Structure 1
Amino acid sequence: MGHGGNVIEELTADHREVEEIFTRIQSMTGGGQELRDLVNEVTIELVRHSVAEEQYLYPAVRDQVEGGDRIADKEIADHGRVEQLLKQLEKADTDDPQMSELLQQLMDEVAAHVEDEENNLFPLLRQACSSEMLGDLGEKIRRAKAMAPTRPHPAAPDTPPANKLLAPGAGLVDRARDFVTGRGKS
């Protein structure tokens, strides 16, 4: 969940972690509980990552990067599509043929988002921000991920200040549900 380093290093490590989970999903031959556990794992990681970006990265992009409003709006729209797919996956049975289609859509969406962030957004951010600011953002991202929801909430606000006020409460409820059900423990 927390990798250390500045915001770019932290988020890039998250990207590699999600890609590794996708690789494990792609190498599976069946469904069942093993697939459900991996879908839960990738959901938890993607939701935490997205919430933290929406709370701290995108406001910094808006403030520091030329054309930042347009960039942040595009990234938040990407998150919205991913969150809708995660919600559908949460409801889908692992043996349903639609599951593999939804997973492929999710992997494609996330791959495009990661490529865009790493090749376009991160270089702009690195150029616009001091190393101290990037380090501070990394700390904020790690704290946000620790308090973030673990389940998709497509109707939740995705911009400050509402997201910063509501996400910790949703995160607490999600983590309580996860504890009771054992979700994310494998």
Structure 2
Amino acid sequence: MKATSLLEKQHRKVESLFKQLESGRSDPAPVLAELANELAAHMAIEQETFYPAVQQIKEDVILESFEEHAIAELALKRLLSTSPDDLSFKARVTTLKELIQHHVEEEEKELFPAVEKAVDEKRLSELGRSMKAEFEQRLAEGYETLLPAGYKKTSADQASRAIHESHANGAARA
């Protein structure tokens, strides 16, 4: 499966989990935990594998994506710390969902088409296989492991710092 197709499939899964959470027909705790695990694992493979592999194609979109991940992660942490009985729970679900929808729309309409145009099918499939294996590993680790504690540090900050450093080192060598 192509890397972009894998990410789109994961986007649909997250959308489905949001619908379940918003419906109120089931216990929100396990749905929220699954959503947190899916989002944390998805963001990890984008930040650590996909974005570095395609950063030269749409660097402005990649930089914005890191920022969107950081904001979404903060919204996710706030949601996870909120009881489903709290009056703000539904508002926090809606806010996180809207952040994710915006991010998904930009990736699927702007980034993925550019990546598919610039990267050959074989490379996209290799990247997809690697990302699928990494996703399964990250999913097994769980969001508690993947999301840094506190509100001052996000996994997006850590991953984007690594890209900036490699970019700076490359510029210094040139």
Normalised-by-shorter TM-score class: 0.7 to 0.9
Aligned-CA RMSD value: 1.7
1:39 and 2:32 are equivalent in the alignment: yes
Write the distance in 2 (CA, Å) between the matches of 1:13 and 1:140. 15
Which sections of structure 2, spanning at least 5 residues, go unmatched? 164-174
Deviation at 1:58, TM superposition (A): 0.6
Structure 1: which 5+ runs fail to align?
163-186
Q: Which has the higher helix share?
A: 2
Q: How does 1:63-78 map to 2 (within 5 A)?
A: 63=56, 65=57, 68-78=58-68
Give 1:12-91 correspondences, 5 Å limit.
Answer: 12-28=8-24, 34-63=27-56, 65=57, 68-91=58-81
Partner Cα distance (2:154, 2:134) in 1: 19
1:98 CA drift (Å) = 1.0
Matches within 5 A, 1:24-173: 24-28=20-24, 34-63=27-56, 65=57, 68-148=58-138, 149-151=141-143, 152-153=147-148, 154-156=153-155, 157-159=158-160
Task: Give a deviation string over 1:41-72, Cα, whole Å, max 9, x none.
Answer: 11100000000001111112213x1xx32111
The question of 1:11 aligning with 2:15 is answered: no
SS of the equivalent of 1:93 reads coil
Q: Could you tell me how far apart the structure 1 residues matched to 2:95 and 2:3 are?
A: 27
Which one-letter code corresponds to 1:155 in the other structure? T
Counterpart secondary structure, 1:159:
helix
Greater shift, 88-97 or 125-134, is seen at: 88-97
Alignment coverage as a number of residue pairs: 152
Between the aligned partners of 2:91 and 2:22, the Cα distance in structure 1 is: 12
Normalised by the size of structure 2, how large is the TM-score?
0.81
> Aligned equivalents of 2:128 and 2:107: distance in 1?
15
Change (3 A) 1:102 1:21: same
TM-score by length of 1: 0.76
